[in-house]
Each structure stands twice: as C-alpha cells, then as structure tokens.
Amino acid sequence: MLLKTFGWSFAVTALGLVAAVFYGGWTGFGIVAILSILEISVSFDNAVVNAGILKKMNAFWQKTFLTIGVLIAVFGMRLVFPVVIVAISAQIGPIEAVQLALDDKDKYQQLVTDAHPSIAAFGGTFLLMIFLDFIFEDRDIKWLGWLERPLAKLGKVDMLSVCIALIVLLVSAMTFATNAHQHGGIHVDMTETVLIAGIAGLITYLIVGGLSGFFENRLEEEEEREHEAEEEAKKSGKNVPAVVMAGKAAFFLFLYLEVLDASFSFDGVIGAFAITNDIVLMVLGLGIGAMYVRSLTVYLVRQGTLDDYVYLEHGAHYAIGALAVILLVTIQYEIHEVITGLVGIVLIAWSFFSSVRRNRRLAAAEGTDTVSNEKAEVSSGV
C-alpha cells in the first residue's frame, strides 16, 4: 500500500536529486532537499483538506489527481506562476521573464519580492475565506467546542464570512500596506495594490466555491440517479457505466482541487526565494515536495484516516486561518518560513492527538458498556 501510493514520489525524488547534483553540484543537492522539506511542511494542511474533497471521487479521478494533477501543480504553480507574477509586476513578456529568471537571478528575485504584497493579499484573502466558511458552519463533530459552538451560531448570519474577510482586508490595507516591504529593505505605500489584489482573491474564492458547491450537488444527484439506475439494471439484467456517470461532476471537483492547491502554494513558492533564486533548483525542490503532498492526500483517502481521526480536518483549517493571517502580516513584516511551517504542523499534530484521545475515550466507554451488559445478562440468568 505504501509503495503503491508513494512509489511515484520516491522515483521523482531520486530523479530530482540526481538532476540537482548534475546541475548545481552538492550545493544544489542540499538546496533541493531543503526546498522539498519546506514544501511538505507548509503544505501538509493542503493534503488534509484535499483529502476531504478527494474522498468524494472514484478511483479513476483519484489516480488522475495523482498523475495529471501533479503535472499541473509542478509546472503550473511551481514553474509558470513565479514567471507570471514577474511578467505582470515588471510589465514584461513571459519569454523575457523566463530569460530573466535564468540569466539575471538577482533581478528576478527583486521583482518577485516587490510583487509579494499583492500576492500575499490575494492568497491571504482566499485562504481566509476557506477558514471562515469552515468555522461558521455548524458541524456534528466539534474539536474546540467552546469556540466552535458560538461561531456556528454566528454563521447563520448571511454573508458573514465575506464581511469579515473584507474588514480584515481593509484593516490590512490601512496598516500593513501603507508600509509594505520591498526588495532591499525599503518600504512603500501599496494600499491600492493590496486592496485590488485582496478583492480579486475574494472574487476568485466566490467563483470557485460557487462552482464547487454547484458541482458537488450535481455529483450527489448523479450518485442518487446512478443508484436508482443500478436497481433498475438489476431487475432488467443490464449494466450501468458508473464511472462515466460519476466522472462528469468529479471533473469539476478536480479543477477545484487544482485551484485550491494553487492558493496553498503561495507561501511555498514565495518562501523558496528566501533559500534560492535559481528557478531550476526551485522547480526541482518544490516539485518533489508537491509529489509527496499529493501522495499523502491519496494515502489519507485510501486509509480512511480522516474518518478515524475526526479532528484532523479541523486542525488543517485552523492552520489555513493561521497561514492567511501570516500572509497578510508579511505584506509589511518578514516572517521566517520555519515559523510558517511549524504553525501548521503544531496545529495538525494537536488535532491528531486530540483525535487519538477521543478514540480512546470512545473505546473505553464501549468497553464499559459491554462489561455492564455482560453483568446484567449473568445476574438475570441468561
């Protein structure tokens, strides 16, 4: 099971590290290894959230997510995205941006650093909406009940998460953006840029979330029709192509996962520039990390880990909220990537051990009930 799920990740790791040695020697090997660990640490919450969505898909789409999806993640976010943000911020063509990344790494890093406030505002607002929509939803299972119960009641107010996100964005623009960090340690006023980027992130979330909700409902409807068709087929002796029926709506959930992965990748891509400005080493390191994140997502689904450890999803969403705040703060202040990664790991580890304690309590309660029932049977002479 482990080799089947992580086999591609192991293979990509070996090839990536060998390529790093040929390209940059043992220094390149070390940089790629560090970047891989960085990507895994800051994206673990991504795997947990993705697993919650991926478990709704069939085996075909899970495999597609692990193969075609990872190509989109590696070449889309880890290669194309750094080039695109430089092209937009510097108002140059994409080909010129690639040449700049390969020939003038210092200038390329400067342009990416200068574009960071708008990237942080976009990604921070998008991730903040994911967190807010999660904590304002009334759930049967609550992790931090003292906090989640009152928030679930507040969540009955329409558009509350959007209002809060806009307030947070406005406060960020009026505080952090007025003294935004730029290359060389200078600070400039980027209030308008941050506001526009944050609103773009909010609009993107509403569009993506709306489409996701619509197609999730379509998927449930198709599953119900599929079940009815199977019952009819049993009576008539015909077969129903279940994979095709499930695949129509699952395709759009797959697209949603790709957009979600892109939003999670902001901190990893930006953080990579603190380690290297060599785009080749960056793609190798972040690509290896992205493979493990995807393999971990599939592993969580196939092992049913989210069903066994019910607070993991909560911990991941709290980590998302923390990451959103960190991104907005980095508009003005530099925060080390180690801190970003540790925050997510601590929250998820906390939720994991909370789940373990919950399972032990339930097991002990079931054992007590079993003993009580056996004693009752003995006393009644059964």
User: Model confidence over 141-194: pLDDT tens digits?
Assistant: 888 888 888 988 888 888 899 999 999 999 999 998 888 877 767 778 889 989
pLDDT of residue 134 exceeding 50: yes
CB 287 within 8 A of CB 58: no
pLDDT of residue 42 exceeding 50: yes
Q: What's at 3, amino acid-wise?
A: L
pLDDT one-digit tens code per residue, 65-106 = 767 777 776 667 777 777 776 777 667 787 888 888 778 877
Residue 9, exposed/middle/buried by CB under 10 A (0-12, 13-18, 19+)? buried
Q: What per-residue confidence (pLDDT) applies to 305?
A: 66
Report the 10 Å Cβ neighbour count for 22: 9
Q: Which range is most confident: 35-44, 122-131, 334-343?
A: 122-131
**Confidence band (pLDDT; 50, 70, 90) for 31?**
confident
pLDDT of residue 381 exceeding 50: no
Mean pLDDT of 121-128: 85
Q: Which residue has the higher pLDDT, 124 or 89?
A: 124
Mean pLDDT of 339-351: 79
Mean pLDDT of 8-34: 87
Report the 10 Å Cβ neighbour count for 362: 10
Q: Which residue has the higher pLDDT, 256 or 32?
A: 32
pLDDT of residue 222 exceeding 60: yes
CB 78 within 8 A of CB 287: yes
Mean pLDDT of 205-226: 71
pLDDT of residue 244 exceeding 60: no
**Could you give the percent of the chain with pLDDT greater than 70?**
77
**Confidence band (pLDDT; 50, 70, 90) for 378?**
very low
CB 161 within 8 A of CB 136: yes
Q: What per-residue confidence (pLDDT) applies to 382?
A: 41
Beta bridge partners of 181: 187
Q: What per-residue confidence (pLDDT) applies to 237?
A: 65
Q: What per-residue confidence (pLDDT) applies to 212?
A: 65
**Mean of all residue pLDDT scores within the chain:** 77
What would the two tokens of residue 176 be? 């952090």
Neighbouring residues of 43: CB distance < 8 A, sequence distance ≥ 6: 264, 265, 268, 289, 290, 293
φ, ψ for residue 278 (rounded to 5)? -90, 110
